Amino acid sequence: MSPGDIWYLIIGNPVLNVLIALSHLLSGSFGLAIIVLTIIVRLISWPLTKRQLNSSKVMQDMQPKIQELQKKYGKNQQKLQQEMMKLYKEAGVNPLGCLWPMLVQFPIWIALYQAIMRALATTPENLLDLAHRLYSWDIVNQAIPLSSKFLWLDLGQPDPYWILAIIVGGTMWVQQKMTQAPAVDPRQQSTSRMMLLMMPLMFGFLTLMFPSGLALYWAVSNIIGIITQYFFTGGWGYLKFRSPFQSTQ
Amino acid sequence: MHDGIAYVGTVDGRVVAINSSTQSKQWDYTITPATTIYTTPIVDGDLVYIGTYSGKILALNTLARSQDLPFPQARYSEWEWDCPIENAKSNAIVADLAMSEDALYVASSNGRVYSLDKGSGDENWKREDIPVLAEKLWTSPVIQGNTLYVSTFDGYIYALSAETGELLDWSFESEAGFASSPVIYEDTIFLGSFDRYLYAVKIGGDAPMWKFPQEKPAGNWFWASPIINEGIVYAGCLDGKLYAISAETGEELWQFESKDPRGKPAPIVSPPVLIGNLLVVANEAGNVYVINPETGDGERIKNRENGDKSTINAQIRAPLCAHEGLVYIRDEDNRLYVVDIDKREVSEPISLTTNE
């Protein structure tokens, strides 16, 4: 069995069939099926998200200590960084921990992209390929072919009005800002600031290029992330927080 | 196939004319801008009609094309028609064209059917009278008398007036979408569905005459249109089997399983063809079989020239064309093969690409 076959057996085909079955259960709405699938993926990845939220909360609680260190070692950046890392280590948190749930979702994005292209079949080859990947469930076969219309979107095409790009970029920025711990030195701060902007910009740009079905997944996933983050940590997290380095400047 | 010339549309957007006696290229025409051709060319006199994925219908004159004149040549009655784009929907032409004495009928991915004058390419129907039948139409219309029958992916069969394009009173609704184009035999429409059944629907009826298989569904979709001869329906299925079914009762008469080089069932994408008293069917894995239509006994055509991994070393998805004891097969690598059915021999491949 080739790596490609294993991929489709474990991830590609299950995502495709679940998506189509959901679409049938939701009155043939492929858009709603994507939203429900997003919720399912977020539920499955909840243990990981919970760990990340915990660490985010711990880091938020550590802010007074960090500011103390800032005052104490403000002039010695190397020492400040060492002390900060020591503090993080003692608390058992990783400042870049927020990236892990995103990385874990990466295979799902690929599978979802493939599922959308296959399920919405923009060419006869796509449709024929779909025939080879469907399970023999009645619910799946009765749903084919799917309608690509959802709200103003053609889910197989990028959103021509850029609305989804703005939503994806905006929600991603908010979610990252809520979870990203402030930087400890100017060099790290500029990297961190760039990361905060780069990812939303990149995803906003990708939304203009990829089928809007995939962008819908990103948007809904970000919104769920913001809501869970808000309720779990009891607020907007670092969204309103200034970097300790900034405050000393 | 017309007057000893085989006309082929290629996946890279060219129409190629092959002389069947010399098996050499007569002319080829590349459609610009570049596109893909899914439709089978149809020929009427000196004109070859073809639909493109870029939403065009072209009428190519064989004389003008053999002289390589710029297209279109009005004095050779050549024309080009652009399918309208509505609400940013695709206008791709994927389904084969239907032809009557005076008109061409075109099903478009924009969900509408158009009627074009064969001589001029002018639209015969008022655009406001043409209904949107589905989100997209990839199945070919079929004409009987003054009525056009169209099957849709969302499970309808519609009857349209061939004169005006207006919907007629009768339509048929199924629970599942129709995957194949309709075929009419003695006032009954036969077509495959996404629910893995083949349907027989009496024109005017509101329930299927029968569904095949009669118990549990087949292993996959009936993607290819069936063919019908002397009361027997021959239907290829993506589960790799060719089924012979009584057109009257829907009862299975026999089944033949096609295989890939590893011995596993391989999907049948192309409709079978009848040649003399034999059936010829090709599967996606490149194997071609000759089958006795009465018994279902089949024999794979071997090809020692290519080491006999399969009859043809490439995928076969295009319709087969049978003519005077020969079957013309285009593979997905843009090569044309001629299979001599009596001798069970496969010709050297004829390249359909520009540089060979």
Closest residue in A to B92 (Cα) is A123
Residue identified by tokens 């139409």 is B137
Residues 6+ apart with CB under 8 A from B134: B111, B152, B153, B154, B156
> Does some domain include residue B92?
no
pTM assigned to the model: 0.82
Closest residue in A to B224 (Cα) is A128
Q: What pLDDT score was predicted for residue A210?
A: 86
> Does some domain include residue B68?
yes
> Does some domain include residue B257?
no
ipTM value of the model?
0.89
Rounded-to-integer distance, Cα B106 and Cα B86, Å: 16
pLDDT (tens digit per residue) in A99-127? 666 677 778 878 888 888 888 888 899 89
Q: What are phi and psi of B189, to 5 degrees?
A: -100, 130
- The yes-or-no verdict on residue A174 having pLDDT over 80 is yes
> Residue-wise pLDDT tens for chain B (356 aa)?
788 899 999 989 999 999 888 888 899 999 999 999 999 999 999 999 999 999 999 999 999 999 999 999 999 999 999 999 887 678 999 999 999 999 999 999 999 999 999 999 999 999 988 999 998 899 999 999 999 999 999 999 999 999 999 999 999 999 889 999 999 999 999 999 999 999 999 999 999 999 999 989 999 999 999 999 999 999 999 999 999 999 999 999 999 999 999 999 999 999 999 998 999 999 999 999 999 999 999 999 998 777 778 999 999 999 999 998 999 999 999 999 999 999 999 988 998 886 55
Query: How many C-beta atoms surround the C-beta of residue A189 within 10 A?
Result: 17
Rounded-to-integer distance, Cα B60 and Cα B77, Å: 8
DSSP letter at B259? B
- The yes-or-no verdict on residue A246 having pLDDT over 90 is no
- Smallest CA–CA distance, residue B296 to chain A, in Å, is 25
Contact state of A154 with B88 under an 8 Å Cβ cutoff: yes
Q: Chain A partners of B138 at a C-beta cutoff of 8 Å?
A: 124, 127
Contact state of A160 with B220 under an 8 Å Cβ cutoff: no
CATH number at residue B35: 2.40.10.480
Q: What pLDDT score was predicted for residue A102?
A: 65
Q: Chain A partners of B221 at a C-beta cutoff of 8 Å?
A: 131
Residues 6+ apart with CB under 8 A from B294: none
What is the DSSP pairing of strand B252-257 with strand B167-173?
A: unpaired
Q: What pLDDT score was predicted for residue A241?
A: 60
> Does some domain include residue B207?
no
- Smallest CA–CA distance, residue B73 to chain A, in Å, is 31
3-class secondary structure per residue, chain A: CCHHHHHHHHHHHHHHHHHHHHHHHCCCEHHHHHHHHHHHHHHHCHHHHHHHHHHHHHHHHCHHHHHHHHHHHCCCHHHHHHHHHHHHHHHCCCCCCCHHHHHHCHHHHHHHHHHHHHHHCCCHHHHHHHHHHCCCCHHHHCCCCCECEECCEECCCCCCCCHHHHHHHHHHHHHHHHHCCCCCCHHHHHHHHHHHHHHHHHHHHHHHHCCHHHHHHHHHHHHHHHHHHHHHHCCCHHHHCCCHHHHHC
Do A226 and A235 meet the contact criterion of CB atoms below 8 Å apart?
A: no
Q: Chain B partners of A138 at a C-beta cutoff of 8 Å?
A: 195
Q: What pLDDT score was predicted for residue A113?
A: 80
Crossing angle for the helix pair A163-179 and A186-209, nearest 10 degrees? Answer: 150
The pair of three-digit structure tokens given for residue B234, joined into one six-digit string: 């021959």
- Smallest CA–CA distance, residue B197 to chain A, in Å, is 11
Q: Chain B partners of A144 at a C-beta cutoff of 8 Å?
A: 176-177, 194
Q: How many domains are contained in chain B?
A: 1
Chain B interface disruption, residue of A144, A150, A212, most B CBs within 10 A:
A144
Rounded-to-integer distance, Cα B152 and Cα B155, Å: 6
Contact state of B176 with A131 under an 8 Å Cβ cutoff: no
Closest residue in A to B240 (Cα) is A132
A148 pLDDT band (50/70/90 cuts)? Answer: confident
- The yes-or-no verdict on residue A244 having pLDDT over 80 is no
Nearest to A142 among B89, B195, B221 (CB): B195
Rounded-to-integer distance, Cα A248 and Cα A70, Å: 8
Q: Which domain holds residue B6?
A: 1-73
Q: Chain B partners of A131 at a C-beta cutoff of 8 Å?
A: 220-221, 223, 238, 267
> Does some domain include residue B40?
yes
Contact state of B267 with A131 under an 8 Å Cβ cutoff: yes
Q: What pLDDT score was predicted for residue A48?
A: 79
Nearest to B135 among A136, A147, A160 (CB): A147
What integer best gives the mean pLDDT of chain B?
A: 93
pLDDT (tens digit per residue) in A22-65? 999 998 899 999 999 989 888 888 887 787 777 777 777 777 78
Nearest to A160 among B36, B88, B194 (CB): B88
Nearest to A128 among B154, B195, B269 (CB): B269
Chain B interface disruption, residue of A23, A29, A122, A142, most B CBs within 10 A:
A142
> Does some domain include residue B69?
yes
Of residues A82 and A216, more confidence is placed in A216
The pair of three-digit structure tokens given for residue B167, joined into one six-digit string: 């919907």
Contact state of B90 with A122 under an 8 Å Cβ cutoff: yes
Instruction: Write out the DSSP string of B32-94.
Output: SS-----SPPEEETTEEEEE-TTSEEEEEEHHHHHTTPPSP-GGGT-EEEEPPP-TT------
A249 pLDDT band (50/70/90 cuts)? Answer: very low
Contact state of A141 with B195 under an 8 Å Cβ cutoff: yes
Contact state of B221 with A131 under an 8 Å Cβ cutoff: yes
Based on C-alpha coordinates, what's the Rg of chain A? 21
A247 pLDDT band (50/70/90 cuts)? Answer: very low
- The yes-or-no verdict on residue A176 having pLDDT over 50 is yes
Q: Chain A partners of B223 at a C-beta cutoff of 8 Å?
A: 128, 131
A248 pLDDT band (50/70/90 cuts)? Answer: very low
